[in-house]
Amino acid sequence: MFTNAKYAKRQTVFSERGNPMEFLSALQSKRLFFDGAMGTMLQSAGLPQGMLPDLFNLQKPEAVKAVHRAYLDAGCRILKTNTFGAVPLKLAPFGAATGDVAAAAVSLAKSALREAECDGFVALDLGPTGKLLKPYGDLDFEDAVSQFAAVVRAGAEAGADCVLIETMSDTYELKAAVLAAKENCSLPVLATLIFDEKGKLLTGGDIPAAVALLEGLGVSALGFNCGMGPAQMRPLVEELLRYTSLPIIVNPNAGLPRYEAGKTVFDITPDKFAREITLLAPSVTLLGGCCGTTPGHLAAMIAACKDIPLPSVTRKDTLLISSYGGAVAFGADPVVIGERINPTGKKRLQQALRENDMDYVLREGLDQQTAGAQILDVNVGVPGLDETILLRRTAEALQSVTPLPLQLDSSNPAALEAAMRRYNGKPLVNSVSGKWESLEAILPLVKKYGGGLVCLTLDEKGIPETAAGRLSVARRIIGEAEDRGIDRRELLIDVLTLPVSAGDRNGAVTLEALRMVREQLGVKTVLGVSNVSFGLPKREQMSAAFFTLALGAGLSAAIINPKSQPMMDALAACRSLAGLDPRCAGYIKRFGDSPEAPAPSGTSDLTLKEAVCRGLGAEAARLAGEAARSGDAMEVIQSSLVPALDEVGSSFEKGVLFLPQLLMSAEAAKKAFDALRPYLSSGEESGGPKIVLATVKGDIHDIGKNIVKVLLENYRFTVIDLGRDVAPEAILEASLREDVKLVGLSALMTTTVPFMEETVRLLAKEKPDCRVMVGGAVLTRSYADSIGAHFYAKDAMAAVHCARQVFGEA
């Protein structure tokens, strides 16, 4: 319902059915052209700056339809609805309802098609919510799903033919959007992402990770939009072609955006756009435009590309498993899956899980990562604990400190579903068996959420004794999976390792079954290797020998302890011997200087700096407390916390480390700081002169400001802390209200110091008796002078000196 009379000019909504089947068949048989930009076109039609374009569906429907008509006249045949920002979160402040806006948008696109008498399609457009999802931001995953679901329900009901999720820079939000589409309509789903020129997403993901996620979730086509022009997208398309088995979409901008006099400018002319796009067209099925493109660009592109033959879309055989930070490909090179996060026989881990000591689990994960694991198995099955909650929570915690993909390991389908749903990426799922009950429970989960699947060759009758028997169970699982639309490349057959101590032929049968599965079924394989040595002395020796034989039989992946030196030594040697290690580089790196493998540095003796860099909050707090007890807390900040954050900041800048890790380090630094706080405080009442303190507008960095606050309070100043992201007007208001003589401003980014300048200017005008001191890593004394600040403080202690000077205490 409309809650604001301004938008009450309701449209007549034509509720027709969409044509998903026709759309899918067109996707297979012809080149399809999307339209171009909507927002910039509406601006030319009078959309005021700062107004959400989606509101025009209700306010100025003719303007929206005119844009659609212009693109149809240019030859485009897929119209993106004007719903990029139609999620309730964005519309609510304007008093408009998603249902009305989305239904009107679809109706406008459909009526444009009807009026132009065109055979075209309407793509329900979903853009990002504009919020970061938890744990990195404050939007819960399920809330994100609900946001998108509201648009999908209304758009599908109004007759859209497909859903286009676009301009996504976070795989987690993308997953929420795809799930919302799959759960609320039966339309084909297409997705395009916004990568930087290095092929990275804002949250660190790369192209293989995006392919893994999207193909796992069952989208119909995928590709790129926005951010750059066609020429810059070429290398991205080449990379995408290596991994995807789906038709590719490319909707570039009219070149790289430039900022000029506060406006975004696009330089590429229609002819140049068309020329650049012809170089991509042979590999791309769906072409169109994004920001800065006009009907002129699209007309030129269509004229240039319409006769270029359609690419043939080829199925890739590689199994890809991913997390937010990247993907692991199962091919010729064996993959190491770390087995240590499994409480079976591990009392300390059981205790940690019972006591919710997540840091212990995270350290186990990080140690395995350091030792060479490429995927981490996560099994939290402890009697008496709710696995449905614990598996999800542990997976989420691990994903916040390591970019390694996870293998979700449980025999409880409800626990698997809860974790698979919230997992950021495409997990490996451990496991399904040949038992009917297991097939019925697990295969639908993999079909819905995506996932590589470990398939145990056992059934209602138990584990077949012979290799032929295990082959037959494997064949049955593959058949059932394929019948449910799961490609066999997604399956890893586990022919099961039984202890050789329990049966002389146990090792031999497993190796024989391994060979048969590979040769006769052509699928990939996995083994939990160490079980072979159970009950024997010198277990690692036996396990490593078996591992070598299994690798020789073509094993694709092994669930092992990566901290076991004999196992990892065997792997290094086998890779070289199998021709997987060019010039034996890996082998030499491992053994180069000494006959002994170097012990990988784990998390057992971390320094405070390392704990912060690795995002281990509890450990950082413990170490900070320890350091403060035996030294100077301020010194701990300067010598450990600041350098740690500098290090992660610089790795972030170099693209070695990404936002999720930056956030975890910031959280760890905060916990360490909280532990130091009691040692920084003098314990005396404040009651001294008042100082207003704030991080400026647009800036959410507040660690430094908080340190300044504690130190000022320590010197008995009364600090009125306005928090972070504070507008100049709010700072002025507080300064007038409290009649302070000193305001402290912090800013950490080049993009936010202009707001510092604005605040200084406002205070100088409206409260000229107030002094302003500024600080923050991005500032210099000369910059502080240039914006008219009275004082520059390079660190927290300098801030105290300034304050004492202002109040005549120095």
Site residues (vs ligand B1M, CB under 6 A): 202, 642, 645-646, 648-650, 652-653, 659, 662-663, 666, 693, 698-705, 707-708, 744-746, 748-751, 773-778, 793, 795-796, 799
How far apart (Å, rounded) are the C-alpha atoms in residues 377 and 408?
Answer: 6
Q: Write the burial class of residue 726 (CB in 10 Å: 0-12 exposed, 13-18 middle, 19+ buried).
A: buried
* Site of tokens 């239904």: 103
CB 556 within 8 A of CB 588: no
As measured in angstroms, the least distance from the Cβ of 696 to ligand B1M is 10
How far apart (Å, rounded) are the C-alpha atoms in residues 58 and 515?
Answer: 64
Strands 718-721, 375-378: pairing kind:
unpaired
As measured in angstroms, the least distance from the Cβ of 790 to ligand B1M is 11
User: Quick one: 596 or 646, whose CB is closer to ligand B1M?
Assistant: 646
Cα–chain-centroid distance for residue 715?
43
CB 618 within 8 A of CB 360: no
As measured in angstroms, the least distance from the Cβ of 137 to ligand B1M is 9
Cα distances from 376 to residues 41, 428, 562, in angstroms, run: 48, 9, 10
Q: What are phi and psi of 150, to 5 degrees?
A: -60, -40
Could you tell me how many helices (H) and strands (E) the chain has, helices first?
Answer: 32, 25
User: Quick one: 196 or 540, whose CB is closer to ligand B1M?
Assistant: 196
User: Quick one: 541 or 780, whose CB is closer to ligand B1M?
Assistant: 780
User: Quick one: 174 or 321, whose CB is closer to ligand B1M?
Assistant: 174
User: Quick one: 728 or 744, whose CB is closer to ligand B1M?
Assistant: 744
As measured in angstroms, the least distance from the Cβ of 719 to ligand B1M is 10
Q: Say whether 433 sits in a helix, a strand or coil.
A: strand
User: Quick one: 432 or 694, whose CB is closer to ligand B1M?
Assistant: 694
As measured in angstroms, the least distance from the Cβ of 610 to ligand B1M is 15
User: Quick one: 331 or 698, whose CB is closer to ligand B1M?
Assistant: 698
As measured in angstroms, the least distance from the Cβ of 133 to ligand B1M is 13
User: Quick one: 89 or 571, whose CB is closer to ligand B1M?
Assistant: 89
As measured in angstroms, the least distance from the Cβ of 201 to ligand B1M is 11
Alpha-carbon torsion, ordered 149, 153, 158, 159, to 10 deg? 90
Cα–chain-centroid distance for residue 220?
21
As measured in angstroms, the least distance from the Cβ of 756 to ligand B1M is 10
As measured in angstroms, the least distance from the Cβ of 779 to ligand B1M is 7
User: Quick one: 308 or 778, whose CB is closer to ligand B1M?
Assistant: 778
How far apart (Å, rounded) are the C-alpha atoms in residues 753 and 94?
Answer: 30
User: Quick one: 510 or 640, whose CB is closer to ligand B1M?
Assistant: 640
- For residue 603, the number of C-alpha atoms closer than 13 Å in the C-beta half-sphere is 24
As measured in angstroms, the least distance from the Cβ of 57 to ligand B1M is 30
As measured in angstroms, the least distance from the Cβ of 384 to ligand B1M is 37
Cβ-Cβ contacts under 8 Å for 722 (sequence gap 6 or more): 692, 693, 694, 730, 731, 734
User: Quick one: 567 or 784, whose CB is closer to ligand B1M?
Assistant: 784
Question: What does 680-721 look like in DSSP terms, one character per residue?
Answer: H---S---S-EEEEEEBTT----HHHHHHHHHHHHTT-EEEE
Rg of the chain, C-alpha, whole Å: 30
As measured in angstroms, the least distance from the Cβ of 724 to ligand B1M is 7
CB 617 within 8 A of CB 675: no
Q: Say whether 469 sits in a helix, a strand or coil.
A: helix
User: Quick one: 587 or 792, whose CB is closer to ligand B1M?
Assistant: 792
The two structure tokens encoding residue 126: 């979903």
β-strand partners of 155: none
How far apart (Å, rounded) are the C-alpha atoms in residues 125 and 343?
Answer: 45
Rounded to 10 deg, the angle between the 61-73 and 295-305 helix axes is 30
How far apart (Å, rounded) are the C-alpha atoms in residues 447 and 491?
Answer: 12
User: Quick one: 479 or 788, whose CB is closer to ligand B1M?
Assistant: 788
As measured in angstroms, the least distance from the Cβ of 795 to ligand B1M is 4
β-strand partners of 250: 224, 287
Which residue type does 224 have?
A: F
